[in-house]
Structure 1
Amino acid sequence: MTKLSKQKKIELYQEWKIKGMPLLVIARRENLNRTALGYAIKLIDRYGPAILDAPHQTYTKEFKEKAIKQALFGTKSIVQLSLDLGLKSSGMLNNWLREYKENGYNVVIKQKGRPAYEQEGRTIAPAAAAEDSAVRRRKLAIAYRQCLYKKINCLGAETTQEIVQAITELRRTFKVSLDYIFDTMSNYKDLPLIARSTYYYTTSQSAKQDKQPKLTARIKEIFVYHQKRYGYRRIALQLIKEGWQTSVKVVRRIMSKLGLKANKRNRRKYSSYCGTVGKIAPNLIKRNFFALRPNMKWYTDITEFHLKGQKLYLSPILDGCAGDIVSYSISRHPNMELVLSMLDKAFVNHQALNACEFHTDQGVQYQSPVYQRALKLHGITQIMSRKGNSMDDGLMESFFGLLKTEMFYGQEYKYHNLQELTKAIEEYIRYYNEERIKERLKGLTPKEYRAQALKK
């Protein structure tokens, strides 16, 4: 963050504070480290822009000792503690901890400038040669306590795996035997310890190599190809569909080990309700959304996208059998033209609709006589949700949530204008219909399931 001027830092802070722009988006745009940017913005948010004018400060030995003690034995994170202390960077506290460890767990204030003439010729004996055994054991105990605090921020709630990891780190750092560590730890009753047999068993279990490297590689490929849209259940279905002998539990374990997590949904909703301006149809669906055959139950609604101060609207038709998108229309305005163009596209490819029930909310477009007349001409029965009850239109709302989670929320920086967003929506609907498998459809895509249902 030192390469940014004071004015630039204030501008970035205002974008985050006033405009609500995510830190990740700002960091990517400015090519900055997200952690460093987040700390600088939090520092300004707590102490105000005046913190940027504070002169360079030299910290005393007592101040550093107090800060290090809080970092090692307190419950606050390094970032939170650095903010409380008003440090210009969280890296300062990390450096103090590193130097504290390197200097034999002592705070050493470096002397600036060249050494005195009479001191230049002196040689310093290695510290390890004069180190006392009791001091070494004390250092080992402090390092052990520090390892556990770093993992769980407290003592008394450690798991066997965490204790094993701490002991292994000490063996590598201090280059001592396991017996030496256990003998040292046994003298400190407040430190948690496990049996030697437990240590050897746990390390042997964790040391086992991946027995299915090809499966692991394929899971990574599927996860990356679908852009974090597939969780472990859907990836397991895809693998089984491809002929792999695996299960949901195996895929979940491998993904957990690799740290692969699918995107979570973020819910926002556009509402077109303007009161009763036309004829209201009854709610015959009653949340029985799914149909046995295609073209028996259709659903539609309008959703809104916000991009760089502009709006884009999508109006799709979703089939209740396979959950596929029958037709859709995209426009800058949520008017009747948007809805009618969607209907025209649907009627071109689907003409036998006498038994079709078409479900919507009570939006102003669906109360229009023009819209209702178009449905009657094709023998479609119109159905509406109850007033102010979005759960009655839950299937359509679920698709909108899925769509925005997998290609829009948190990815707005990818689209420079509405034309690019329109192309991305069109590509996602193609992907959703033809490539994205569903657990409800037994591992088939909506297009495959629809074709299968029409053959019966």
Structure 2
Amino acid sequence: MECLGSGQRSRCAEKAQLVLELRQEHDLSDLLKVAGLARSTFYYQAKVQMADDKHAGLKLRIREIYERHKGRYGYRRVTAELSQAGQAINHKSVQRFMQALGLKSLVRRKKYRSYRGELAHVPNLLERQFRAERPNQKWVTDVTEFNVQGDKLYLSPVMDLYNGEIIAYETQRRPHFQLVGNMLRKALVKLAPLDAPLLHSDQGWHYQMPAYRRQLAARGLTQSMSRKGNCLDNAAMESFFGTLKSEFFHLNKFNSVEQLRDGLRRYIHYYNHQRIKTKLKGLSPVQYRTQPSSA
């Protein structure tokens, strides 16, 4: 058992303090491995060091939420998750505690580049009405590009505007039609027999292809496209790409396209099932869709 003697306890306390000071710059697991501290020992020492602080328990919960979401959460989402767990606290207090603990959201909004094809003329039926009253009423889609050491990967997702859930997606090394065609097939199998959503996109060439439009018509979906040069017409999907790039792509280093592809799979699952949204009453997209009151 670790840290039994007084000398050992002192060394453990020093190591724990050092880990606390460095954990905003380095992964906690790596720090504990280098320091030779068990995770349980580290948290015990952290509690001891905060024993005289009447808010120690709350600060530990705030830190745990922050680390579990890998620094992606700011004070508002931390507050929402605390509230969901039954901890009533004002967001300004959470902001103050996070500042005292040195916990800052690692997310910095960065511009991203969606892949654009040739433009055409198709009616904009969505008309920036990004709210939906029920699942599978309005969908949006687009394509974005990633670059890993000179190698590119393209992502084509489709989002349900009811809760912001990514219904289906496809990744490919080239922006061939198969990228969008496969995404659409994956999305269509998720629909109930009577579901026939509006599907909005930009004016990329993929969405003009006869094969794409035939798939929509065969399943009874209505096609809608943004006006030329109006990226705000597809703002919901643009926003998702911005979040994806800032919370995931720009916070990690990738050695290969396959590593990126696997990371995208894990992040999209996290986004759908765990990442809370304040406009969804502090729930994740899947939690919001499956809660009894949303039926």
Partners of 2:179 and 2:192 lie apart in 1 by 20
What letter matches 1:335 in structure 2?
H
**TM-score, normalised by the number of residues in structure 1:** 0.52
Q: Which residue of 1 aligns with 2:82?
A: 239
Q: Secondary structure at the match of 1:402?
A: helix
- C-alpha separation between the residues in 2 aligned to 1:266 and 1:429? 19
Q: How far is the alpha carbon of 1:286 from its aligned partner?
A: 1.5
CA distance in 2, matches of 1:318, 1:393: 11
**Paired position in structure 2 for 1:436:** 275
Show the counterpart of 1:340. Answer: 181
Residues 303 and 453 of structure 1, relative CA distance in 2, 3 Å threshold = farther
* 1-structure distance, mates of 2:193, 2:182: 19
Aligned equivalent of 2:191: 350
Please name the residue that 2:13 is paired with: none
Match of residue 155 from structure 1: none
Asked if 1:328 corresponds to 2:169, the answer is: yes
| Identity rate, percent | 45
CA 1:365–1:454 in structure 2 vs 1: closer, same or farther (change >3 Å)? farther
CA root-mean-square deviation: 1.6
Aligned equivalents of 2:117, 2:279: Cα separation in 1: 31
Spell out, residue by residue over 1:274-328, the C-alpha distance to the aligned partner (whole angstroms, 9 max, x if none): 133xxx3211211111101000000000010010110000100100001000000
Residue number among 109, 113, 119 corresponding to 1:275 in the alignment: 119
Q: CA shift at 1:260, angstroms?
A: 1.4
Aligned to 1:421: 260
Unaligned runs of 5+ in 2: 1-25, 27-51
Aligned to 1:258: 101
CA contact (8 A) 2:118 2:205 kept: yes
Q: Distance in 1 between the 2:88 and 2:294 partners?
A: 29
Aligned to 1:448: 287
Deviations along 1:108-155, one digit per CA (max 9) or x if unpaired, are: xxxxxxxxxxxxxxxxxxxxxxxxxxxxxxxxxxxxxxxxxxxxxxxx
Amino acid of the structure 2 residue aligned with 1:447: V
- State how far apart, in whole Å, the 2-side matches of 1:388 and 1:289 are: 19
CA deviations over 1:56-101 (Å, ceiling 9, x no partner): xxxxxxxxxxxxxxxxxxxxxxxxxxxxxxxxxxxxxxxxxxxxxx
Higher-RCO chain (CA-CA 8 Å, sequence separation at least 6):
2
Q: How far apart, CA to CA, are the structure 2 residues paired with 1:344 and 1:403?
A: 23
* Count of matched residue pairs: 244
**What whole-Å deviation, never above 9, does each CA across 1:214-266 have from its counterpart, x for those lacking one?**
11011111111111111100000000101112121110111122221111111
Inter-partner Cα distance in structure 2 for 1:374 and 1:235: 42
- The verdict on how the C-alpha distance between 1:247 and 1:352 changes in structure 2, with shifts beyond 3 A counting, is farther
1:360 to 201, 215, 236: 201
Seen in structure 2, the aligned counterparts of structure 1 residues 211 and 403 have a Cα distance that, compared at 3 Å, is same
TM-score (norm 2): 0.79
| 1:403 paired residue among 236, 244, 269 | 244
Matches of 2:293 and 2:97 in 1, distance apart? Answer: 37
Question: Do the aligned partners of residues 373 and 353 (structure 1) sit closer, same or farther apart at CA in structure 2, a change above 3 Å counting?
Answer: farther
Distance 2:195 2:279 in 1: 27
Q: d(CA) in 1 for partners of 2:119 and 2:163?
A: 32
- AA aligned to 2:260 is L
Counterparts of 1:353 and 1:395 in 2: how far apart (Å)?
25
Equivalent residue runs for 1:160-199 within 5 Å: none
Structure 1 counterpart of 2:17 = none
Report 1:48-87 matches (<5 A).
none
Query: Is the strand fraction higher in 1 or 2?
Result: 2
Matched residue, 2:56: 213
